[in-house]
Structure 1
Amino acid sequence: MTFKRSVVVGCGSALPRKAVTNAELEAVVETSDAWIAQRTGIRQRHIAAEDETTSVLGIKAAQAALADAGLGVDDIDLIICATSTPDNTFPSTATQIQAGLGMHHGAAFDLQAVCTGFVYAIATADNFLKAGAHRRALVIGAETFSRILDWSDRTTCVLFGDGAGAVVLEAQDGAGASSDRGVLTTQLRSDGRYRDKLYVDGGPGSTKTTGCLRMEGREVFRFAVGMVTDVVEAAFALTGTSAEELNWFVPHQANKRIIDASADKLGIAREKVVITVDRHGNTSAASIPLALDVAVKDGRIKRGDLVMLEAIGGGFTWGSALIRW
């Protein structure tokens, strides 16, 4: 008996041209390199220029992922773009990526789960592929969070950056075992009671404005470390795997202290944790695919490795995806 698996066959990423260091931010807001680095682990972030929209970054990441997979647009029949910073209220950024790729078939849509967006998008694409509705999917996380920051708020503006990452998922036959290549399980959660901990204070249906990001940092830290445990442990339990068997842990890149505390709580050795927050900052839905691409390209993540993705975002939303690379 065969079992459909969604196998990662390519990955890619794209960053804005301009990188901004902590020292450069000292001229913009009352802060310091030492303050930012000590509390977050961030050293720099990329900030999009006016012509570097979310779809532009998404197109570049998608092209890189397709090239890595050795595939063309004719081989793709589904695009899911996880983003909280779309080019427009509508049409979806995914359709603009589709058009930019020269793709005129299949389906494309956006998915909004803030920083957990890429994990939610992986889960969604996985279910489409397993059901036989599509053969191959481009799953993209793309953000221009610099557009929704209050640059006078030193507690938030120093944390975020822009970028995009993408993977190509392909439906392949597996045996239904944890040794199969592909997505082994996804675990998704949300709880809307925590809206005021992390949100944007605007929107077309309320204020008719874009709004700016607002965050209660200490509360987000507390919930981030506390909430991730269930989705990671549930993934291990469902697949019969464990933290010891894990080759790589690729969490949402929000804050190095959150990442370290989460890994410690889950019993995941720190040398197995992929960290890119120092160079990218928090890029929301783009952070996990950006980190994945770095770790694949530098040779850390190899075929057959067991890789855990995990994220928590505004809402709150949180989730995990366990993948055999």
Structure 2
Amino acid sequence: MNSLAKITAHGKYVPSKVMTNEDFEKIVETSDEWIQQRTGIKERRITADNEYTSDMSYQAILNLKEKYNVDLTDVDMIINATMTPDYKTPSVAAYVQARLGLKQCGSLDINAACAGFAYGLNIANGLITSGQHKKVLVVGAEALSKITDYKDRNTCILFGDGAAAFLVEYSEDETSFIASSTGTDGEKGKYLYSTDLSNKMFDEDMENPGYIVQNGRGVYKWAVTNVPQVIQNTLSQTEYSIDDLNWFVPHSANARMIEAICKKSGISYDKALMSLQYFGNTSSATIPLAIDLAMEQQKLNKGDLMLLVGFGGGLTYASTLIKWTI
């Protein structure tokens, strides 16, 4: 009997505080017009001082549970994708496990930055199809505002906070997952980093260790050059072509970047699902937030073919081609 992995539910949570482009006009030299033209972002959500990644992850799961009226008592693994954990240890996933009261449940965090959620889905698929687990929660959650330098006009306008979760379950007769690919170009890790113990690795003169530092041009060039190849490599494993895609769900980093990737890949920009306009760049949360938003807008239909591609810090990428099964 085959073990198949199927996406059965999704949910999201974003903080109540909204930070608009006009708010940034008061703290750095910028304008709403400049930000929208270059990024496509109008606003983003910001966590409260006492609100952290584990809080948002938990709330996203509660939203999933409420929307689909699902029983989570038999969840046997939680995967939290994040680069902003509450602590180095215990993991965010462990905090979530405790709050959900799941006694027989594994937990782990993965840090693949903006590619994290796609990695998490691929790991969940592997755990279920190998027979190790049957019910996995995959969460992408970030509190990026807590590591954003609000004096840096080039990066502070980009980032927001939020979380979204998928439930992936064992199935005997239907799978969501078709093909995937992953890769890394670690030599270009200096293009996007947040320092910690080795804060002098990339910048010996850095005054504020812990903040996000980004070479926007370097990341843009890398993504526009490499992501179209990732798309082709993923589809080449299947019988499908670009024209068969109903939706393309890239990491919502920058609307201009996604537009360039679509043009180079031959994908209609109208097929791109994004969450950046109202949530900004939420790193590992952008892809599930975009899908949740599309469901709210009644864009998605069961059976739709969707290609998810996460890319960013590392520099690393992960893709997964799925059939929407909700």
TM-score by length of 2: 0.94
Per-residue CA shift, 1:157-181, capped at 9, x if unaligned?
000000001100112134xxxxx54
What is the CA-CA distance between 1:242 and the residue it aligns to?
Answer: 1.1
Structure 1 runs (4+) greater than 4 angstroms displaced? none
Q: Is the 8 A contact 1:227 1:318 kept in 2?
A: no
Gaps spanning 5+ residues in structure 2: where? 201-207
Change (3 A) 1:6 1:68: farther
Structure 1 distance, partners of 2:253, 2:231, is 18
List aligned pairs for 1:161-200, cutoff 5 A: 161-174=160-173, 181-200=175-194
For the residue of structure 2 that corresponds to 1:244, the secondary structure is helix
The separation in 2 between residues aligned to 1:210 and 1:88, in whole angstroms, is 16
Which secondary structure state, in structure 2, belongs to the residue aligned with residue 154 of structure 1?
A: coil
8 Å contact 1:148–1:210 — kept in the other structure?
A: no
Residue 204 in structure 1 maps to residue 197 in structure 2:
yes
The alpha-carbon deviation at position 5 of structure 1 amounts to: 2.6
Do 1:204 and 1:210's aligned partners in 2 also have CA atoms closer than 8 Å? no
Structure 1 match to 2:205: none
Query: Which range moved further: 107-116 or 30-39?
Result: 30-39
**Kept after mapping to 2: 8 A contact 1:228/1:311:** no
Q: What secondary structure sits across from 2:243 in the alignment?
A: coil
Cα deviation, residue 8, structure 1: 0.9
Q: Aligned-pair RMSD on alpha carbons?
A: 1.4
Which string of whole-angstrom CA distances, capped at 9 and with x for unpartnered residues, describes residues 31-78 of structure 1? Answer: 111111110000000011112210000001112223334322213111
- The residue identity in structure 2 corresponding to 1:70 is N
SS of residue matched to 1:156: coil
Which residue in the other structure is 1:214 paired with? 213
Query: How far apart in 1 are the matches of 2:18 and 2:274?
Result: 18
SS in 1 for 2:302: coil
Cα separation, partners in 2 of 1:110 and 1:38, compared to 1, 3 Å: same
**What code does the residue aligned with 1:291 have?**
A
Find out whether 1:273 has 2:267 as its counterpart. no
What displacement does 1:205 show? Answer: 5.4
Deviates more, 1:65-74 or 1:152-161: 65-74
Partners of 1:218 and 1:225 in 2: how far apart? 11
CA distance in 2, matches of 1:41, 1:61: 25
Q: How far does residue 102 in structure 1 lie from its aligned partner after superposition?
A: 1.9
Change (3 A) 1:67 1:197: same
- Between the aligned partners of 2:65 and 2:239, the Cα distance in structure 1 is 32
Alpha-carbon distance in structure 1 between the residues aligned to 2:170 and 2:234: 21
Map of 1:239-258 to 2, 5 A cutoff? 239-258=238-257
Q: What is the number of equivalent residue pairs in this alignment?
A: 317
Q: What is the CA–CA distance in structure 2 between the aligned matches of 1:191 and 1:53, rounded to whole Å?
A: 30
User: Residue 75 of structure 1: SS of its match in structure 2?
Assistant: coil
Give the counterpart letter for 1:185 in structure 2: A
Give 1:206 shift.
5.0
Structure-1-length-normalised TM-score: 0.94
Distance 1:68 1:122 in 2: 20
Alignment partner, residue 88 of structure 2: 89
The one-letter code of the counterpart of 1:162 is D
Q: Which residue does 1:36 correspond to in 2?
A: 35
> 1:265, 1:311 → 2: CA distance?
17
The answer to whether the 8 Å contact 1:55/1:86 transfers is: yes
Q: What does residue 177 of structure 1 align with?
A: none
Looking at structure 2, the residues matched to 233 and 4 of structure 1 have their Cα atoms a distance apart, in angstroms, of 27
Query: Does the 8 Å contact 2:306/2:323 carry over to 1?
Result: yes
Where does residue 64 of structure 1 map in the other structure? 63
- State the identity as a percent: 39
